[in-house]
Amino acid sequence: MFPCKCGKEFATEAGLKSHIRRRYCKYRPDPVGEAVTAADTYSCTYCPRDCPREFPSYPGLRQHVRQADPGEFNDELLKEVADPIRDKTRWSDAEMIAMAKHEIIYKGRFINKHLNGLFPFRSVEAIKSKRRSKDYIELIESLQTEGAMARDIEEEIEEEAAAAAPEPTIELVEESILPPAPPEARDISFVPSRRPRRKRGTYPSCR
């Protein structure tokens, strides 16, 4: 899974890039704490100076950017033309396989809405239509026939996400390998408690 700072997770890196580049993210961190709250407006982050303006819709924000900073707006358009996210009319094999795996391991309701959250560049109607297609149904049957049970697919997805994660630093590797230090090594003031031993012949006599 590819997480966003807003708290959402996506099945593919392309989904995360689409979520960020198209500004679909409607969440922002709470200024008081670390909680994430929903935002009903789109804040401007394009202007050279701190812009306090907010807009009720993303098209309104884009219109403001085009008028306030035409250079930034044109650069953004050039980036989208030079590196488009994808052809929305076609589905790649990797995308179909990823969606099929997530459908197999999901046991809840509203599967189309759930998959739309993982693949935000696909609309609910597009996902619903693809799930009804013959090639997608055959793909689901093929994954299940090959013995790819839900637990195996879930482990495979976790391994792919772990492979995409950054490598641990040397400090983290050493901490995970070395055994924990004894208490006396961690705290120099540690003094092991020991019951004093009585000398022979000093026990009180019973009367």
Model pLDDT for residues 116-153, shown as the tens digit of each residue: 888 877 888 888 888 998 888 888 888 777 655 555 65
**CB of 96 closer than 8 Å to CB of 143:** no
Per-domain residue ranges of the chain = 23-82, 93-164
pTM above threshold 0.95: no
pLDDT tens per residue, range 14-72: 677 666 655 545 554 444 444 434 445 666 666 656 677 777 766 677 677 777 777 76
Give CA–CA dist 192/174, Å, rounded.
28
